[in-house]
Amino acid sequence: MFIDEADINVQAGTGGSGCKSFRHTRDVKGRKPNGGNGGRGGHVIIKADSGIHTLREFNYKKNIKASRGGHGGSNNKTGRDGQETYLSVPPGTLVINADNNLVVRDLTHINEKVIVARGGKGGRGNAKCANAEPGKTGETIRLHLDLKLIAEVGLVGFPNAGKSSLISCISKAKPKVASYPFTTKTPVLGIAEFNEKEYKIADIPGLIEGAHAGSGLGDKFLRHIERTRILAFVIDLAGVDGRKPWDDFFSLKNELMLYNTELNDKSYMIIANKIDLASAQENLKIFKNKIKEPFIAISCKDKSNLDEVQKKIIKLL
């Protein structure tokens, strides 16, 4: 299951207690305090890990606690620091303080990490202060994790337009392709390469008119194209499902605007797919007249004009 949001409670470890002890000697006056300090509690650290693709783990792991610091010992022995607890999340995860909605860190890079809760300081032993102290409590924080995929290109289109077919043709990602709508239910990332240039491309579930009001799978997946640099509208030029390709294009733009007007400021390209079909040939001229913008007619089936698509992507990037 692909989960892109999670709420968790995090608690860093408490510091170890300072030790109260005295050097043994027959002479009472010579009894010097020698209690060591407690160790620091473990931090809780969130790290972007390339091997993790969803926040699913946090569906059932909601309360996270790091270990406490070791207590101080006699002979000025300092307690061990508590072990850090690492939480792995997919790159592209926004870590948000749930109490004030402020972003703690946007973990966009692989291996980037952030300490979200600091372990409590260990208490001082009686060698350092007259009465040995207890360790300080570790920080606690409520976090909202919000995954927004990081890709350069986002594919947007009606179901069955051929988005998954396209990503399969130009990248190593092989999402399921089928002739029924909403085959793709979760976003898929692929790495494409063209002319020695590499870029990430995201295939997201199909969008239909009224998605902003919940029709189809809704528009929640558009969050995953918010951060892409460019958008590629994939249109079924053949109108296999009985709609008009130009209506599809205007509906898609409208849904994007209703979701977030900033999406309309992104550079985009238009890909008219299924040109191998006769009905697509018939629609070609009307499509040109109606949309009045450049587009690339392709066929994922025949693998025709795919280089043009890649060239245009590289140019826009």
How many residues contact Mg ion, by CB under 5 A? 3
Nearer CB in complex with ligand GTP: 264/304: 304
Which of 63, 100, 101, 179 contacts ligand GTP by CB under 6 A?
A: 179
Nearer CB in complex with ligand GTP: 145/204: 204
Nearer CB in complex with Mg ion: 134/218: 218
Nearer CB in complex with ligand GTP: 161/192: 161
**Environment class of residue 28 by beta-carbon count within 10 Å: exposed (0-12), middle (13-18) or buried (19+)?**
exposed
Long-range pairs of 252-255 with CB within 8 A, sequence gap ≥ 24: 252/156, 252/157, 252/158, 252/207, 254/209, 255/207, 255/209, 255/211, 255/212, 255/219, 255/222
| Residue 251 makes contact with Mg ion by CB under 5 A | no
CB of 17 to Mg ion, least distance (A): 58
CA distance 204 to 158: 10
Q: Which stretch binds ligand GTP (CB under 6 A): 4-12, 33-41, 68-76, 272-280?
A: 272-280
CB of 164 to ligand GTP, least distance (A): 3
Q: Coil, helix or strand for 141?
A: strand
- HSE of 1 in the Cβ direction (CA atoms, 13 Å)? 9
φ, ψ at 64 (rounded to 5°): -120, 130
Nearer CB in complex with ligand GTP: 117/230: 230
CA distances from 139 to 150, 154, 234, 310 (A): 30, 39, 48, 49
Q: Which stretch binds Mg ion (CB under 5 A): 15-23, 96-104, 120-128, 180-188?
A: 180-188
The token duo for 280 is: 């697509």
The kind and range of the H/E element at 245 are helix 245-259
| Contacting ligand GTP within 21-40 (CB under 6 A) | none
The token duo for 218 is: 């809704």
- Return the bridge partners of 6, or none: 145
Q: Which residue matches tokens 């997201």?
A: 204
Nearer CB in complex with ligand GTP: 122/162: 162
| Residue 184 makes contact with Mg ion by CB under 5 A | yes
182 binding partner (options ligand GTP, Mg ion, none; Cβ < 5 to 8 Å by kind): ligand GTP
Which of 39, 72, 138, 206 contacts ligand GTP by CB under 6 A?
A: 206
Would you tell me which residues interact with ligand GTP (CB under 6 A)?
A: 157, 159-165, 177-179, 181-184, 205-206, 273-274, 276-277, 299-301
Would you tell me which residues interact with Mg ion (CB under 5 A)?
A: 164, 183-184
